[in-house]
Amino acid sequence: MRLIDKIRQKKEGLAVYDEFYGELVYPKLEGLLKNRMLFKGREVITWSFNDYLGYQCDQRVIEAETAFVSMFGAGYPAGSRLLTGNTEYHEKLEDEIAQLVGKPTMLVNLGYAGIMSTIQSLVDRNDTVIYDQEVHACLVDGARLHLGKRRSFRHNDIEHLEAQLKASKSALGGTLVLVDGVYSMRGDCAALSAIIELKKRYEFTLLVDDAHGWLTFSNQGSVGDLMKEVDIYIATFAKAAATVGGFIAADKDIIQHLKYNVRSQVFGRTLQLVNVYSVLFKLDLIRDEGDNRRNTLWSNTKKLQTGLQSIGLNIGDTTSPITPVYFDCPEEVSAEIIQTLRYEYGIFCSCVTYPVIPKGRFILRLIVTALHTDDDIKQTLKAFSYVKERLSRNVELS
Protein backbone atom coordinates (compact mmCIF):
# COMPACT_ATOMS: atom_id res chain seq x y z
CA MET A 1 0.00 0.00 0.00
CA ARG A 2 1.25 3.46 -0.84
CA LEU A 3 1.89 5.67 2.16
CA ILE A 4 -0.48 8.34 0.85
CA ASP A 5 -3.28 5.74 0.56
CA LYS A 6 -2.59 4.52 4.08
CA ILE A 7 -2.92 8.06 5.39
CA ARG A 8 -6.22 8.55 3.54
CA GLN A 9 -7.66 5.50 5.28
CA LYS A 10 -6.53 6.62 8.72
CA LYS A 11 -8.93 8.21 11.14
CA GLU A 12 -7.47 8.09 14.59
CA GLY A 13 -6.50 10.34 17.45
CA LEU A 14 -8.06 13.79 17.40
CA ALA A 15 -9.08 13.31 13.75
CA VAL A 16 -12.15 11.41 14.97
CA TYR A 17 -13.55 14.80 16.03
CA ASP A 18 -13.51 16.28 12.54
CA GLU A 19 -17.30 15.92 12.46
CA PHE A 20 -17.38 18.54 15.24
CA TYR A 21 -15.33 21.06 13.23
CA GLY A 22 -16.13 24.57 14.41
CA GLU A 23 -17.43 23.31 17.76
CA LEU A 24 -15.08 21.04 19.73
CA VAL A 25 -12.21 21.49 17.27
CA TYR A 26 -11.24 24.62 15.33
CA PRO A 27 -13.91 26.86 16.90
CA LYS A 28 -13.82 30.52 15.90
CA LEU A 29 -13.92 33.08 18.70
CA GLU A 30 -14.19 36.70 17.62
CA GLY A 31 -13.20 39.99 19.19
CA LEU A 32 -10.31 41.06 21.39
CA LEU A 33 -8.67 38.30 23.40
CA LYS A 34 -10.43 38.86 26.74
CA ASN A 35 -12.86 37.45 29.27
CA ARG A 36 -15.90 37.92 27.01
CA MET A 37 -15.86 37.28 23.27
CA LEU A 38 -18.26 36.22 20.51
CA PHE A 39 -18.84 32.61 19.49
CA LYS A 40 -21.18 32.20 16.50
CA GLY A 41 -22.60 35.62 17.16
CA ARG A 42 -23.28 34.99 20.86
CA GLU A 43 -21.38 36.56 23.75
CA VAL A 44 -19.59 33.93 25.84
CA ILE A 45 -17.39 34.04 28.91
CA THR A 46 -14.09 32.64 27.71
CA TRP A 47 -12.12 30.31 29.99
CA SER A 48 -9.84 28.91 27.30
CA PHE A 49 -6.86 31.29 27.06
CA ASN A 50 -3.57 31.39 28.94
CA ASP A 51 -3.28 35.18 28.89
CA TYR A 52 -3.11 35.00 32.69
CA LEU A 53 -2.35 38.67 33.37
CA GLY A 54 -4.71 39.94 30.67
CA TYR A 55 -2.28 42.02 28.65
CA GLN A 56 -3.06 41.03 25.07
CA CYS A 57 -6.23 43.13 24.92
CA ASP A 58 -4.70 46.01 26.89
CA GLN A 59 -5.05 49.13 24.75
CA ARG A 60 -1.60 50.35 25.78
CA VAL A 61 -0.07 47.13 24.49
CA ILE A 62 -2.04 47.22 21.23
CA GLU A 63 -1.03 50.83 20.55
CA ALA A 64 2.64 50.17 21.35
CA GLU A 65 2.76 47.06 19.13
CA THR A 66 0.98 48.90 16.31
CA ALA A 67 3.39 51.83 16.45
CA PHE A 68 6.36 49.48 16.45
CA VAL A 69 5.11 47.53 13.42
CA SER A 70 4.59 50.82 11.57
CA MET A 71 8.33 51.52 11.99
CA PHE A 72 9.80 48.09 11.24
CA GLY A 73 7.05 45.99 9.66
CA ALA A 74 5.82 42.67 11.04
CA GLY A 75 8.56 40.52 9.49
CA TYR A 76 11.72 42.24 10.72
CA PRO A 77 14.46 41.02 11.06
CA ALA A 78 15.05 38.29 8.49
CA GLY A 79 17.09 35.12 8.69
CA SER A 80 18.35 33.14 11.65
CA ARG A 81 19.58 35.05 14.65
CA LEU A 82 23.02 33.44 14.24
CA LEU A 83 23.58 35.13 10.87
CA THR A 84 21.35 38.15 10.30
CA GLY A 85 18.54 38.18 12.88
CA ASN A 86 20.16 39.66 15.98
CA THR A 87 19.25 43.14 17.27
CA GLU A 88 19.86 45.28 20.33
CA TYR A 89 16.25 44.60 21.33
CA HIS A 90 16.86 40.83 21.42
CA GLU A 91 19.89 41.32 23.64
CA LYS A 92 18.07 43.80 25.86
CA LEU A 93 15.21 41.35 26.42
CA GLU A 94 17.67 38.58 27.30
CA ASP A 95 19.34 40.88 29.83
CA GLU A 96 16.04 41.89 31.42
CA ILE A 97 14.80 38.30 31.74
CA ALA A 98 18.19 37.25 33.15
CA GLN A 99 17.75 39.82 35.92
CA LEU A 100 14.28 38.48 36.69
CA VAL A 101 15.15 34.78 36.83
CA GLY A 102 18.73 35.07 38.06
CA LYS A 103 20.37 33.16 35.20
CA PRO A 104 21.82 34.04 31.77
CA THR A 105 19.22 33.58 29.05
CA MET A 106 18.75 32.88 25.35
CA LEU A 107 15.63 33.71 23.36
CA VAL A 108 13.89 31.11 21.20
CA ASN A 109 11.64 31.82 18.22
CA LEU A 110 8.91 29.34 19.19
CA GLY A 111 8.40 27.66 22.55
CA TYR A 112 7.41 24.24 21.20
CA ALA A 113 10.18 23.90 18.62
CA GLY A 114 12.70 25.58 20.91
CA ILE A 115 12.12 23.10 23.72
CA MET A 116 12.24 20.10 21.40
CA SER A 117 15.57 21.04 19.89
CA THR A 118 17.01 22.16 23.23
CA ILE A 119 16.55 18.61 24.51
CA GLN A 120 18.13 17.27 21.33
CA SER A 121 21.13 19.59 21.75
CA LEU A 122 21.77 18.49 25.35
CA VAL A 123 22.04 14.71 24.91
CA ASP A 124 23.71 12.16 22.67
CA ARG A 125 23.09 8.44 22.14
CA ASN A 126 24.99 7.53 25.32
CA ASP A 127 22.71 9.61 27.55
CA THR A 128 19.33 8.82 29.08
CA VAL A 129 16.26 11.06 29.11
CA ILE A 130 13.72 10.56 31.92
CA TYR A 131 10.44 12.46 31.91
CA ASP A 132 7.29 12.77 33.98
CA GLN A 133 4.43 11.03 32.17
CA GLU A 134 2.29 14.18 32.34
CA VAL A 135 4.78 16.62 30.74
CA HIS A 136 3.70 18.73 27.79
CA ALA A 137 3.81 17.24 24.30
CA CYS A 138 6.83 19.37 23.33
CA LEU A 139 8.95 17.63 25.99
CA VAL A 140 7.65 14.22 24.92
CA ASP A 141 8.46 15.01 21.29
CA GLY A 142 11.90 16.25 22.32
CA ALA A 143 12.50 12.96 24.12
CA ARG A 144 11.33 11.05 21.03
CA LEU A 145 14.05 12.74 18.98
CA HIS A 146 16.66 11.34 21.37
CA LEU A 147 18.67 8.48 19.88
CA GLY A 148 19.57 6.97 23.25
CA LYS A 149 17.51 5.50 26.09
CA ARG A 150 14.24 7.06 27.19
CA ARG A 151 12.37 6.36 30.40
CA SER A 152 9.30 7.87 32.04
CA PHE A 153 8.03 7.99 35.60
CA ARG A 154 4.51 8.22 36.99
CA HIS A 155 3.36 11.77 37.57
CA ASN A 156 5.14 13.34 40.56
CA ASP A 157 5.97 9.84 41.85
CA ILE A 158 9.38 10.39 43.42
CA GLU A 159 9.93 6.71 44.25
CA HIS A 160 9.30 5.77 40.63
CA LEU A 161 11.66 8.52 39.46
CA GLU A 162 14.34 7.21 41.81
CA ALA A 163 13.86 3.70 40.43
CA GLN A 164 14.38 5.05 36.89
CA LEU A 165 17.48 6.95 37.99
CA LYS A 166 18.93 3.76 39.49
CA ALA A 167 18.21 1.88 36.28
CA SER A 168 19.80 4.61 34.17
CA LYS A 169 23.28 4.66 35.66
CA SER A 170 25.82 4.52 32.84
CA ALA A 171 29.57 4.74 32.74
CA LEU A 172 29.37 6.50 29.38
CA GLY A 173 26.52 8.96 29.50
CA GLY A 174 24.58 11.29 31.72
CA THR A 175 20.90 11.66 32.59
CA LEU A 176 18.47 14.47 31.75
CA VAL A 177 15.24 14.71 33.80
CA LEU A 178 12.34 16.62 32.28
CA VAL A 179 9.41 18.07 34.25
CA ASP A 180 6.84 20.83 33.84
CA GLY A 181 6.79 23.58 36.43
CA VAL A 182 2.99 23.62 36.15
CA TYR A 183 1.22 20.72 34.44
CA SER A 184 -1.07 22.11 31.78
CA MET A 185 -3.85 19.55 32.06
CA ARG A 186 -3.97 18.91 35.80
CA GLY A 187 -2.91 22.36 37.00
CA ASP A 188 -0.64 21.00 39.74
CA CYS A 189 3.06 21.77 40.12
CA ALA A 190 6.13 19.58 39.90
CA ALA A 191 7.36 18.10 43.18
CA LEU A 192 10.53 20.12 42.73
CA SER A 193 11.82 20.04 46.30
CA ALA A 194 11.72 16.23 46.35
CA ILE A 195 13.24 15.98 42.86
CA ILE A 196 16.06 18.34 43.81
CA GLU A 197 16.68 16.28 46.95
CA LEU A 198 17.42 13.30 44.68
CA LYS A 199 20.29 15.27 43.12
CA LYS A 200 22.22 14.67 46.33
CA ARG A 201 22.27 10.93 45.58
CA TYR A 202 22.12 10.77 41.79
CA GLU A 203 23.93 12.71 39.10
CA PHE A 204 21.38 14.17 36.70
CA THR A 205 20.59 17.43 34.95
CA LEU A 206 17.17 18.90 35.70
CA LEU A 207 15.20 20.76 33.02
CA VAL A 208 11.98 22.55 34.00
CA ASP A 209 9.49 23.79 31.40
CA ASP A 210 7.63 26.52 33.28
CA ALA A 211 5.43 27.83 30.49
CA HIS A 212 2.42 28.30 32.79
CA GLY A 213 4.41 29.44 35.82
CA TRP A 214 6.61 32.29 34.59
CA LEU A 215 5.11 35.68 35.55
CA THR A 216 1.93 33.91 36.67
CA PHE A 217 3.35 32.80 40.05
CA SER A 218 6.23 35.27 40.18
CA ASN A 219 9.11 36.64 38.12
CA GLN A 220 10.81 33.30 38.80
CA GLY A 221 7.70 31.37 37.94
CA SER A 222 6.51 28.39 39.93
CA VAL A 223 10.15 27.54 40.72
CA GLY A 224 10.70 30.57 42.95
CA ASP A 225 13.58 30.24 45.42
CA LEU A 226 14.55 26.85 43.96
CA MET A 227 15.72 28.48 40.73
CA LYS A 228 19.41 28.09 41.59
CA GLU A 229 18.90 24.30 41.91
CA VAL A 230 17.31 24.04 38.44
CA ASP A 231 19.95 23.42 35.78
CA ILE A 232 17.91 24.51 32.75
CA TYR A 233 14.79 26.66 33.02
CA ILE A 234 12.55 27.21 29.99
CA ALA A 235 9.48 29.40 29.63
CA THR A 236 7.33 30.60 26.78
CA PHE A 237 5.96 34.04 25.98
CA ALA A 238 2.69 32.44 24.81
CA LYS A 239 1.10 32.44 28.29
CA ALA A 240 1.42 35.37 30.72
CA ALA A 241 3.49 37.41 28.23
CA ALA A 242 0.71 36.96 25.65
CA THR A 243 2.73 36.72 22.45
CA VAL A 244 5.07 34.32 20.60
CA GLY A 245 8.50 32.96 21.50
CA GLY A 246 10.23 32.05 24.73
CA PHE A 247 13.57 31.73 26.48
CA ILE A 248 16.05 29.30 28.00
CA ALA A 249 17.87 30.16 31.23
CA ALA A 250 20.96 28.31 32.46
CA ASP A 251 24.57 28.83 33.49
CA LYS A 252 26.62 30.94 31.09
CA ASP A 253 28.59 28.04 29.60
CA ILE A 254 25.40 26.06 28.94
CA ILE A 255 23.79 29.05 27.21
CA GLN A 256 26.95 29.43 25.15
CA HIS A 257 26.61 25.79 24.04
CA LEU A 258 22.91 26.19 23.22
CA LYS A 259 23.46 29.32 21.10
CA TYR A 260 25.36 27.25 18.57
CA ASN A 261 23.60 23.88 18.89
CA VAL A 262 19.83 24.39 19.21
CA ARG A 263 18.93 23.56 15.63
CA SER A 264 15.54 25.27 15.55
CA GLN A 265 17.34 28.54 16.36
CA VAL A 266 20.47 28.08 14.26
CA PHE A 267 18.47 27.09 11.16
CA GLY A 268 15.13 28.77 11.88
CA ARG A 269 14.08 32.39 11.50
CA THR A 270 14.77 34.64 14.45
CA LEU A 271 12.08 35.75 16.89
CA GLN A 272 10.34 38.64 15.17
CA LEU A 273 11.13 42.05 16.55
CA VAL A 274 7.51 42.99 17.23
CA ASN A 275 7.26 40.02 19.61
CA VAL A 276 10.53 40.99 21.32
CA TYR A 277 9.33 44.57 21.74
CA SER A 278 5.93 43.37 22.97
CA VAL A 279 7.53 41.43 25.82
CA LEU A 280 9.83 44.33 26.71
CA PHE A 281 6.84 46.67 26.85
CA LYS A 282 4.82 44.26 29.01
CA LEU A 283 7.73 43.75 31.40
CA ASP A 284 7.76 47.53 31.94
CA LEU A 285 4.06 47.39 32.79
CA ILE A 286 4.55 44.39 35.06
CA ARG A 287 7.23 46.22 37.04
CA ASP A 288 4.62 48.81 37.99
CA GLU A 289 1.42 46.79 38.20
CA GLY A 290 2.35 43.11 38.06
CA ASP A 291 1.67 42.45 41.74
CA ASN A 292 -1.84 43.94 41.46
CA ARG A 293 -2.59 41.87 38.35
CA ARG A 294 -1.32 38.70 40.01
CA ASN A 295 -3.35 39.41 43.13
CA THR A 296 -6.49 39.74 41.01
CA LEU A 297 -5.63 36.56 39.11
CA TRP A 298 -5.17 34.52 42.28
CA SER A 299 -8.25 36.04 43.93
CA ASN A 300 -10.31 35.05 40.89
CA THR A 301 -8.75 31.59 40.96
CA LYS A 302 -9.70 31.06 44.58
CA LYS A 303 -13.28 32.27 44.02
CA LEU A 304 -13.86 30.00 41.03
CA GLN A 305 -12.20 26.91 42.47
CA THR A 306 -13.80 27.26 45.90
CA GLY A 307 -17.17 27.77 44.22
CA LEU A 308 -16.81 24.67 42.04
CA GLN A 309 -15.84 22.58 45.06
CA SER A 310 -18.78 23.92 47.08
CA ILE A 311 -21.10 22.68 44.33
CA GLY A 312 -19.58 19.24 44.83
CA LEU A 313 -17.42 19.12 41.71
CA ASN A 314 -14.01 17.47 41.51
CA ILE A 315 -11.18 19.80 40.44
CA GLY A 316 -8.39 17.43 41.39
CA ASP A 317 -5.26 18.77 43.05
CA THR A 318 -4.67 21.92 40.99
CA THR A 319 -2.48 24.57 42.59
CA SER A 320 -2.66 27.04 39.70
CA PRO A 321 -5.23 29.04 37.69
CA ILE A 322 -5.62 25.95 35.49
CA THR A 323 -8.90 24.47 36.71
CA PRO A 324 -9.88 21.03 35.41
CA VAL A 325 -13.32 19.70 36.35
CA TYR A 326 -13.48 15.89 36.20
CA PHE A 327 -16.55 13.83 35.34
CA ASP A 328 -17.52 10.26 34.61
CA CYS A 329 -20.22 10.28 31.96
CA PRO A 330 -21.18 8.81 28.58
CA GLU A 331 -19.98 10.60 25.45
CA GLU A 332 -23.49 11.65 24.43
CA VAL A 333 -24.07 13.32 27.81
CA SER A 334 -20.76 15.20 27.64
CA ALA A 335 -21.65 16.50 24.16
CA GLU A 336 -25.02 17.71 25.47
CA ILE A 337 -23.34 19.47 28.40
CA ILE A 338 -20.92 21.35 26.16
CA GLN A 339 -23.74 22.51 23.90
CA THR A 340 -25.82 23.66 26.86
CA LEU A 341 -22.92 25.52 28.48
CA ARG A 342 -22.12 27.40 25.28
CA TYR A 343 -25.57 28.12 23.86
CA GLU A 344 -27.75 28.46 26.96
CA TYR A 345 -25.35 29.69 29.64
CA GLY A 346 -22.74 31.46 27.48
CA ILE A 347 -19.76 29.59 28.94
CA PHE A 348 -16.87 28.72 26.61
CA CYS A 349 -14.29 26.35 28.09
CA SER A 350 -12.17 23.61 26.59
CA CYS A 351 -13.27 20.00 26.82
CA VAL A 352 -11.08 16.94 26.96
CA THR A 353 -12.45 13.51 26.16
CA TYR A 354 -11.54 10.21 24.48
CA PRO A 355 -9.02 9.48 22.91
CA VAL A 356 -6.98 12.00 24.97
CA ILE A 357 -8.36 10.39 28.16
CA PRO A 358 -10.10 7.00 28.65
CA LYS A 359 -13.66 6.44 27.44
CA GLY A 360 -16.30 7.41 29.96
CA ARG A 361 -14.14 10.22 31.33
CA PHE A 362 -14.68 13.88 30.59
CA ILE A 363 -12.81 17.02 31.63
CA LEU A 364 -13.91 20.64 31.34
CA ARG A 365 -10.80 22.81 31.63
CA LEU A 366 -11.11 26.42 32.74
CA ILE A 367 -8.24 28.91 32.70
CA VAL A 368 -8.63 31.84 35.09
CA THR A 369 -7.20 35.25 34.20
CA ALA A 370 -6.89 38.65 35.84
CA LEU A 371 -9.59 39.94 33.46
CA HIS A 372 -12.38 37.73 34.78
CA THR A 373 -14.94 39.49 36.96
CA ASP A 374 -17.13 38.45 39.86
CA ASP A 375 -20.09 38.41 37.47
CA ASP A 376 -18.18 36.06 35.16
CA ILE A 377 -17.51 33.72 38.07
CA LYS A 378 -21.10 33.83 39.37
CA GLN A 379 -22.52 33.10 35.91
CA THR A 380 -20.07 30.24 35.47
CA LEU A 381 -20.86 28.69 38.85
CA LYS A 382 -24.58 28.87 38.02
CA ALA A 383 -23.89 27.03 34.77
CA PHE A 384 -21.84 24.36 36.51
CA SER A 385 -24.62 23.88 39.05
CA TYR A 386 -26.70 22.85 36.04
CA VAL A 387 -23.93 20.45 34.98
CA LYS A 388 -23.89 18.89 38.45
CA GLU A 389 -27.66 18.49 38.45
CA ARG A 390 -27.70 17.09 34.89
CA LEU A 391 -25.08 14.50 35.68
CA SER A 392 -26.71 13.47 38.94
CA ARG A 393 -29.60 12.18 36.87
CA ASN A 394 -27.35 9.94 34.78
CA VAL A 395 -23.99 9.13 36.28
CA GLU A 396 -21.96 9.45 39.45
CA LEU A 397 -19.47 12.26 39.56
CA SER A 398 -15.88 11.13 39.76
Output the pLDDT for position 397: 40
Output the pLDDT for position 87: 96
**Digit-coded pLDDT (tens) for 53-71:** 999 999 999 999 999 999 9
Q: Is the model's pLDDT at 147 over the cut of 60?
A: yes
Look at the domain 77-271 and name its fold: Aspartate Aminotransferase; domain 2 (3.40.640)
Q: Is the pTM of this model over 0.75?
A: yes
Alpha helices, DSSP H, located in the chain: 3-9, 59-72, 88-101, 111-122, 137-145, 158-167, 192-198, 252-259, 263-266, 273-311, 331-343, 374-392
Give domain limits for the chain.
3-57+290-392, 77-271
Judged on CB neighbours under 10 Å (0-12, 13-18, 19+), 5 is exposed
Q: Which H/E stretch holds residue 177? A: strand 175-180
Q: Which CATH number fits domain 3-57+290-392: 3.20.190.10, 3.30.43.10, 3.90.1150.10, 3.30.200.20?
A: 3.90.1150.10
Mean pLDDT of the 341-355 span? 88
Higher pLDDT, 291 or 11: 291
SS (HEC) of 258-303: HHCCCHHHHCCCCCCHHHHHHHHHHHHHHHHHHHHHHHHHHHHHHH
**Digit-coded pLDDT (tens) for 68-117:** 999 999 999 999 999 999 999 999 999 999 999 999 999 999 989 999 99
Give residue 171's pLDDT band: very low, low, confident or very high (50, 70, 90): low
What is the rounded CA–CA span in Å between residue 350 and residue 364? 6
SS3 label, residue 51: coil
Mean pLDDT of the 253-281 span? 96
Output the pLDDT for position 396: 45
